[in-house]
């Protein structure tokens, strides 16, 4: 007998792992929840709900965190300030101003090369 009121099964750890790996591997590209659903083999709504419950944020917020971390790492080895814009664009930010705003919010300072 079919159970129409039954909630869909939660994505497995393997399915969520695929989503996380895909986000990390493709952080510089635009990503949609639909793409992540296709990668994991579950519905977009399931990806959104269960990703939020597992990681405490939406897939888009997680993507933003990954982009900022990658930008931070890249700025550690930048030789000059002209590369800040390049890093922002390489990490998937649509504009320098959006990158600067997100970077300042996350790290408490303006993005700048930090060659050591």
Q: What is the 8-class DSSP label of residue 48?
A: H
Q: 70 and 58, same structural domain? A: no
pLDDT in tens, 43-72: 888 888 887 888 899 989 999 999 999 999
Domain that holds residue 30: 13-62
Q: Copy the structure tokens of residue 11.
A: 């994505």
Q: Does position 96 have pLDDT exceeding 70, yes or no?
A: yes
Question: 3-state DSSP call for residue 73?
Answer: helix
d(CA 69, CA 60): 14
pLDDT in tens, 7-37: 556 677 788 888 889 999 999 999 998 899 9
Give the pTM.
0.82
Among the three residues 44, 62, 80, which one is the final residue of a domain in this structure?
A: 62
Q: What is the 8-class DSSP label of residue 114?
A: -
Q: 49 and 21, same structural domain? A: yes
Q: 69 and 54, same structural domain? A: no
Q: 50 and 73, same structural domain? A: no
Number of Cβ within a 10 Å radius of residue 73 = 11
More confident of the two residues 103 and 8: 103
Q: 76 and 51, same structural domain? A: no
For tokens 């007998």, name the residue: 1
């Amino acid at each position: 007998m079919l159970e129409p009121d039954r909630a869909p099964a939660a994505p497995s750890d393997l399915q969520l792992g695929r989503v996380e790996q895909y986000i990390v591997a493709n952080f510089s590209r635009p990503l949609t929840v639909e793409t992540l659903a296709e990668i994991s083999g579950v519905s977009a709504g399931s990806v959104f709900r269960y990703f939020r419950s597992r990681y405490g944020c939406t897939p888009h917020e997680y993507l933003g965190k990954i982009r900022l971390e990658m930008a931070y790492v890249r700025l550690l080895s930048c030789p000059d300030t002209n590369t800040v814009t390049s890093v922002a664009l390489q990490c998937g930010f649509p504009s320098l101003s959006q990158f600067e705003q997100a970077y300042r919010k996350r790290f408490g300072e303006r993005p700048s090369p930090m060659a050591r």
